[in-house]
Amino acid sequence: MTTINADAFRVLLESTPDGFFVHDTAGRILDVNARSCADLGYSRGELLTLTIDDISAGQGAEENARQWAAAPVGFAMSFGEIAVRKDGSRFPVEISLTCQEIEGRKLFFGVARDVSERVAAQEAIERQVEERTAELKDAHERLAMAARVGGLGIWDYDIARDVMECDEQWYRIMGRDAAQPVRRIAEFRAFIHPEDVERATEVHPTADRLAADGQDYGILFRIVRPDGEIRWIRSAASLVRDAQSAVIRAVGFVIDVTDAQDATASLERKSREDPLTGLANRRHFDEELRKACLQATRTGEPVTLAMIDVDHFKRFNDAGGHLRGDEALRAVADILLRTARRPYDLAARYGGDEFVLLLPGVDEPAALLRKIADELAELAIAHPASSVAAYLTVSCGCVVARELADVGPLDLLAEGDRALYRAKEAGRNGIHIAHI
């Protein structure tokens, strides 16, 4: 591990939002930060008289000692543990542990994160998952996997001299060889995703701003490993000042949080997606409709909203069963997805057997809507209970708004509903387009 100034390292210990500790191969606690004391309810002096076995409810002391003795220098791992407070109460933590040799002595540097709230949240999600679809259950499992935090990589940056020093774990996180050290910010820039490189390496303005506000450094950014893999990194640091209070260095750490980022994005997608059809759900549609109306008001471009209803779907369900009904809804959804082919088009399940198409910039939707009906006719999904046709059909009510100065989302929906009613009133399996 690259040697880092002791004072700067102390600053890092006391500024990290998680508990930090150091112990030897016998488990004796050699150092802790204030967060560890607060989490465990001990004073620093008390903790320095204890061992790791005294504050954890995991495996036995003998097994711990065996593993610590066998751990090679440079070894790093992350695992779940149950911490024991001074009052005997317990709480779950995630431990990131690295083994380093300091002055010929093997020591273990660890970060302990209290995950009580996360565990409680996960348990609540698990209860919900049992009541919902298997697809959402998969999303939750990804979230649980993402809860495991990777190792801690330490860096020390001399701002005045533009010199970086990073430990081996930092290089592991970056997917780089520590034998080819990074010494300058310009070299580090090559690791960072092009979209994040400027804000992640804007050294002097960032240091000045943080110093003025009395804040520590924290950022989330992406790196690109040599094999092309993109990883999300969280970095935090404290600023080190000289005798004249000028910021001269930053000492911090990086943690790979890719799994957590992916899980968050996945859950966000699920919260905006209809689980049966994969289309946008009502919440997502409402958001995009508001955006489309605002954009059209600014640009003067038209907006088309089409409401599509499966004809006599209740009869279809009653005759063929709900599984067959679900298959039919998915078939209609697939056609709508192919229709909403531009990045800013949106197909959504509005509710039950009713769908919507949002087509910004379109003022002549007739051909698109006829294509939907034609593709559905080609599938020829039998619907003997229909009074319209022998196969599954849809009715479509469409509103085209060419001027939205006095037209809002609710107005478009109301006009779309009226157009859909007229399409049904005309005998179904047809299209009614209104212009406002």
Distance CA 283, CA 275 (A): 13
Residue 136 located in a structural domain:
no
Determine the pLDDT at residue 217.
78
In terms of domains, do 293 and 395 share one?
Answer: yes
CATH number for the domain harbouring residue 34: 3.30.450.20
Distance CA 24, CA 40 (A): 19
In terms of domains, do 242 and 291 share one?
Answer: no
Residue 220 located in a structural domain:
yes
Distance CA 39, CA 85 (A): 7
In terms of domains, do 359 and 377 share one?
Answer: yes
Those residues with Cβ within 8 angstroms of residue 187's Cβ, 6 or more apart along the chain or in another chain: 164
Residue 146 located in a structural domain:
no
Kindly report the length of the chain: 436
Q: Count the Cβ atoms, other than its own, within 10 Å of residue 154.
A: 23
Residue linked to tokens 């600023």: 239
In terms of domains, do 278 and 324 share one?
Answer: yes
- What DSSP letter does each residue of 10-78 carry, written as one string? HHHHHHSSSEEEEEETT-BEEEE-HHHHHHHT--HHHHTTSBGGGGB-SS-HHHHHHHHHHPPTT-EEE
Residue 203 located in a structural domain:
yes
Where among 232, 263, 294 does a domain terminate?
A: 263
In terms of domains, do 239 and 278 share one?
Answer: no
- What DSSP letter does each residue of 315-339 carry, written as one string? HHHHHH-HHHHHHHHHHHHHHHHHH
Determine the pLDDT at residue 260.
78
Determine the pLDDT at residue 125.
65
Beta bridge partners of 109: 22, 98
In terms of domains, do 384 and 357 share one?
Answer: yes
Where among 88, 114, 140 does a domain terminate?
A: 114
Range of the domain at 46: 6-114
Where among 210, 234, 263 does a domain terminate?
A: 263
Provide the CA 209 distance to its chain's centre, in angstroms: 28
In terms of domains, do 184 and 206 share one?
Answer: yes
In terms of domains, do 258 and 281 share one?
Answer: no
Determine the pLDDT at residue 124.
72
Q: Considering its fold, how many domains does the chain have in total?
A: 3
In terms of domains, do 303 and 206 share one?
Answer: no
Determine the pLDDT at residue 13.
72
Determine the pLDDT at residue 131.
60
In terms of domains, do 173 and 286 share one?
Answer: no
In terms of domains, do 252 and 192 share one?
Answer: yes
Distance CA 93, CA 113 (A): 5
Residues belonging to the active site: 353
Query: What tens-digit pLDDT sequence spans the chain (436 residues)?
Result: 444 566 766 777 787 789 999 999 999 999 999 999 999 999 999 999 999 999 998 778 888 889 899 999 988 888 889 999 999 999 999 999 999 998 889 999 999 999 888 878 777 766 665 665 444 344 334 333 333 344 678 888 898 889 999 888 899 999 999 899 999 988 998 999 999 988 888 877 777 777 676 667 788 899 999 999 999 998 888 888 877 778 888 888 888 888 877 776 666 667 778 889 989 999 899 999 999 998 888 888 999 999 999 999 999 988 888 899 999 999 999 999 999 988 889 999 998 999 999 999 999 999 999 999 999 999 999 999 999 999 999 999 999 998 887 888 999 999 999 999 999 999 999 999 999 8
CATH number for the domain harbouring residue 345: 3.30.70.270
Residue 145 located in a structural domain:
no
Residue 140 located in a structural domain:
no
Residue 141 located in a structural domain:
no
Q: Show the tokens assigned to 247.
A: 């910021």
In terms of domains, do 157 and 242 share one?
Answer: yes
pTM score, whole prediction: 0.45
Residue 121 located in a structural domain:
no
Query: What's the Cα-to-Cα distance from 25 to each of 76, 113, 309, rounded to whole Å?
Result: 15, 22, 69
The side-by-side arrangement of strands in the sheet containing 230-241 is: 163-166, 152-158, 247-256, 230-241, 217-224
